[in-house]
Structure 1
Amino acid sequence: MTQPSLSLVDTDPAELAVDAIVIGLHSQPDQDGALLPASGAESIAAAFDGKLTSTLALLGATGAPGEVTKLATLGTVTAPLVVAVGLGDEPSGSAPDLETLRRGTGAAVRALAGSATVALALPVPDDADAPAVLRATLEGALLGGYRFAGYKTKPQKGRREPVGALQVHVPDAADEAAQAELTRAAVVGRAVRQARDWVNMPPNMLRPATFADLIAEAAGEAGLAVEVLDFEQLKAGGYGGIVAVGQGSEAPPRLVKLTYTPEGVAEPKRVALIGKGITFDTGGVSIKPAAGMWEMKSDMAGAAAVAATMLAIAAVKPGVAVSGYLAIAENMPSGSAYRPGDVITMFNGKRVEVFNTDAEGRMVLGDAMARACADGADYLFETSTLTGGQVISLGKRISGLMGSEEATALVKSAGDAVGEPSWPMPLPDDVRKGMESEIADICQTNANLDRAGHMLQGGVFLREFVAPGVEWAHIDIAGPGYHSGEATGYWTKGGTGVPVRTLLRVVESL
């Protein structure tokens, strides 16, 4: 995983010796759609003697969000190429819409693959909005330019390497706040890229033990404390859910705990982050349809996000104590697999009647959440590719959000700020009533196998494993955790890294 180098510059953009320079372009509906260079592009526009926007219009530019238009400069400015990215309508204030800027920057940097050095002369106001705008620009550039290395044995004809170096134009390159954003962006970029790399790995190369080892190695290098429980330790420790799901595979399960302890804080708040790490999900005995099953390599996206967030936490060093719990297993059908009708005793002693072995995520998460509460947590945030119901209800961009009022409000606010939106969903009493078991404490799914409120069933089940008094939130990323379409904005095909940036912001807010 190679990330572009980052630097801030305050040299006149028209004089920067780079391969390409990116500027913003607004549309003006009140003026019949006439184009307007965004703030930061003034010297570039002046160099074109007032003909920049008309020339871009001839090339088809409209200023629509995310639209990328390339223009050879022919010596008009130092860079041989100007790339205009659409930022939509001219903003009413000094700052552009952050998500529009984030996505547009990502699209532009991705379109410039093959360039060694790219400069971004995008709107960064010289006021209180500057840090947020700079953060959006940097994150969009780093994430939009990501590409998974892959496993090709021969170089692909015409394949261009991602941008190697990024220069971002700001009013004052020596400004401490701007430099702090640069440092933070590099940390966040590496974390999200690491999460994406793990999700994009093929399942035969990322079985439970391997995934646990990779996480432990990265965490150890970051200075985090690491604990890994193997299959025998899980059985001895009473982790019935993780054992049940993992026992059908020849690659046994793992539970990984990563711990960050702040220095100089007497009684820090205690935060637990929980991630679902099903390295491949066949559905087990309740096997999935074959079509599209290959995407089930991404069923560990929650664990990848939590592990990557912990790496970022180790670097930014917030004043709270944070532990990450990664429940890792492979859900396979075999003679030793768990079955519909089984009753499983979970870590907290609750007994679960299994109706569908494809609802395995809640089984491993229940154990991990109960362990986190037993260790002591004030806040618990769990994320998982849990239910197809999330995609049906909220689509591919918006995560489902359930839990206690304070914790869900923290997640929603953080997600809105970083461009990873979520939507609070209820945990109705009638859904819990439908999960009553005649022989155990709770059914794993609706007792009548009714899929109504499918996403909510997952949240209701997980609530059973949260200790009283713990603020908690469940973030269902079944849609947002993996992007199967063509690259768009700062999302590339494959793992997205959602919700690394949300979790990090939540922790920082505490």
Structure 2
Amino acid sequence: MSKNESADRTRGPQITLSTSLDSADEALVVGLIAAAPDSDDAPTLLLAADVLDDAQAAAISGALVAVGAGGSHGEVTRIAAPESLGVSVVVAVGLGDEAAVDDAEKVRQAAGVVARELDGFSTVATTLAAAALAPAVEGLFLGAYRFDEFRSAKSEPKKLPPTTIHLLADDTGKAVKADLAHAVAVADAVAIARDFVNTPPSHLYPEEFAERARALGAKAGLKVEILDFASLEKEGYGGIVGVGKGSSRLPRLVRLTHAGKKSAKKVALVGKGITFDTGGISIKPAANMDQMTSDMGGAAAVIASTILASRLELEVTVTATVPMAENMPSGTAQRPGDVLTQYGGTTVEVLNTDAEGRLVLADAIVRACEDEPDYLIDTATLTGAQMVALGTRTPGVMGTDEFRDRVAALSAEVGENAWPMPLPAELRSDLKSRVADLANVTNHRWGGMLSAGLFLKEFVADGVEWAHVDIAGPAFNSGGPWGYTPKGGTGVPVRTIARVLEDIAANG
């Protein structure tokens, strides 16, 4: 795919507001609220006003009860629609008990589940906006996401997800339309990040990644700067050069800027962009190495988030500094025991070439701090220790205490649920090197996520509020789809970053 096609690609269904069913609608999706556990009541349909008349609602409720639909969260049930309705099928998705209607993440998850069940219908209508419009939109959009770019006619799906979803709502006024546009923009940014992560390393290598970022950034009105290998060497980006020089596909550094007004707060974003990670000379085991196509998930997230900041016209200046490299073993690769000089002058003894992410991030963090940001967020698929500590769905967030906790709280609001983690002072001494300012790893396996955070802390300028988000597990789903999360790239932590940027724009 060319860079222009990448910039123009449609990533999800068109979602519009309506007060009634359209003649083009092929299916109606309704929410179903479970009765209380100790009640003999039937589950309740979640409906916008005037969508169904009493007879239609009674017929649908009766049919759902007859086939055993109870409304438990994520339960999907199909029934034939009443002839008078004008659609062929009614699809009910359980929201859980009545309290779940007020739980944005449960609505988002249920919408994602049902969206995956709508393949084969091109146009559908839904009442889920009556629960919570923005979460319903995000769940529907992200649940309908597919990545089929590399499928030929032999394996392309016979049934495609909906191209149009009509939200049936009582109110379609200006404020509701604004909420809809915001939710679609956020979901599309997540899909941009998913697309990057899902693109195989044969097609997404540093130069191509940089060019795709340039095309998307230019389309969004961002200022774009790209440093090639010669420039990186000349300007002293020793971490990026050291990691990337083992590959025939040489590294890049991309800078994308969304400019707010002069008085706006300045936020630096940094994302790890290792387009494929073999581990270098400290080579990884073969099992599951294919999943290292996702090792640029942090870079994908910050690129998408900066584009989103521009689309939402946020009054905050956002600059993404994105190191891109391929970590390969070869005659030109760095060796365990080598010493490199990071951008800014700090020397690092490379004890393990598979701890490469922190080396490219360190260069980018120092460069980002030259802009004197008020806040800095870096994110990376950085350590296997993140998954050992927190599992595959929960990001770990470290940094300056107040900002770390702010990021974690805002992440919980949007359902990405980053968890605050400490940076224990006693682990810092384990990063001492025999010959250089720092070693890139400790000599033990304890607290690996935290040690990586302490390494990065060394490169953050004094006075900058900083958060480091480790997404080693959450950025890539190697199991089956769940909720609105597909197999493969997830787009985490785009929604967290977006929420933090909005909070900074509103509150400083």
Quickly name the TM-score band, shorter chain normalised: over 0.9
1:52 Cα deviation after fit: 3.1
Q: Deviations over 1:162-209 (max 9, x none)?
A: 211011112211x11111112112222221111111110111111110
Counting only pairs closer than 5 Å after superposition, residues 26-425 of structure 1 correspond to structure 2 as 26-28=33-35, 29-31=37-39, 34-40=42-48, 43-44=51-52, 46-48=54-56, 50-91=58-99, 95-122=101-128, 124=130, 133-156=132-155, 159-173=158-172, 175-262=173-260, 265-425=261-421
The 10-residue stretch of structure 1 (407-416 or 205-214) with the greater mean CA deviation from structure 2: 407-416
Structure 2 residue matching 1:31: 3-state secondary structure: coil
Question: Residue by residue, what CA displacement relative to the aligned partner does 1:343-399 show, whole Å, maximum 9, x if unpaired?
Answer: 111112111111111010000000000100012211000110001111111111110
What root-mean-square deviation, in Å, do the aligned CA atoms of Structure 1 and Structure 2 show? 1.7
Structure 1 Cα separation of the partners of residues 156 and 431 of structure 2: 55
CA contact (8 A) 1:398 1:420 kept: yes
* 2:60/2:81 contact within 8 Å kept: no
Rounded Cα–Cα distance in structure 2 between residues aligned with 1:487 and 1:45:
36
Correspondent of 2:29 among 9, 22, 33: 22
Name the CA distance, whole Å, in 1 between partners of 2:157 and 2:329. 42
In structure 2, the residue corresponding to 1:434 is in which secondary structure? helix
Query: CA, structure 1 residues 21+352, in 2 after alignment: closer, same or farther (shift >3 Å)?
Result: same
1:486, distance to aligned residue in structure 2 (A): 1.6
CA distance in 2, matches of 1:475, 1:432: 19
The answer (yes or no) to whether the contact 2:30–2:91 under 8 Å persists in 1 is: yes
8 Å Cα contact 2:362/2:456 also seen in 1: yes
Do the aligned partners of 1:391 and 1:478 also contact (CA within 8 Å) in 2? yes
Aligned to 1:508: 502
Distance 1:458 1:432 in 2: 10
Tell me which residue corresponds to 2:492: 498
Asked if the contact 2:48/2:170 (under 8 Å) is kept, the reply is no
Q: How far is the alpha carbon of 1:47 from its aligned partner?
A: 3.2
1:427 equivalent in structure 2 = 423
Number of residues of Structure 1 aligned to a counterpart in Structure 2: 494
Shift of 1:288: 0.4
| Cα pair 1:96 1:123 within 8 Å, conserved | no
Shift of the alpha carbon at 1:43?
Answer: 5.0
Q: For residues 445 and 148 of structure 2, what CA distance do their matches in structure 1 show? A: 39
Is 1:23–1:40's contact at 8 Å kept on the other side of the alignment?
no
Residue identity (%): 47
Match of 1:6 among 8, 15, 20: 15
**For residue 160 of structure 1, what is the amino acid of its counterpart?**
K
- The change in CA–CA distance for 1:170 and 1:16 in structure 2 (over 3 A counts) is farther
The amino acid of 2:384's aligned partner reads G
Counterpart AA for 1:104 = A
Structure 2: segments with no counterpart, 5+ residues:
1-8
Deviation at 1:90, TM superposition (A): 1.4
- Whole-angstrom distance in 2 between the partners of 1:387 and 1:57: 48
- Relative to the length of structure 1, the TM-score reads 0.93
Instruction: Determine which of 457, 461, 482 is the counterpart of 1:463.
Output: 457
Aligned amino acid, residue 469 of structure 1: G
SS in structure 1 of the partner of residue 249 of structure 2: coil
Contact 1:276 1:300 in 2 (8 A): yes
Give the whole-Å Cα distance in 2 for the aligned partners of 1:165 and 1:381. 35
Per mean C-alpha deviation after superposition, the further-off stretch among 345-354 and 46-55 is: 46-55
Deviating above 6 A after TM superposition, structure 1's stretches of 4 or more consecutive aligned residues are none
Could you tell me how far 1:104 is from its partner in structure 2? Answer: 0.7
Question: Alpha-carbon deviations, 1:66-85, whole Å to 9, x = none?
Answer: 12111111414222111110
Measure the CA separation in 2 of the matches of 1:266 and 1:384: 30
Aligned mates of 1:33, 1:492 — CA distance in 2: 34
The match for 1:129 is none
SS of residue in 2 equivalent to 1:273: strand
In the TM superposition, what is the alpha-carbon distance from 1:17 to its structure 2 partner? 4.8
CA distance in 1, matches of 2:55, 2:339: 74
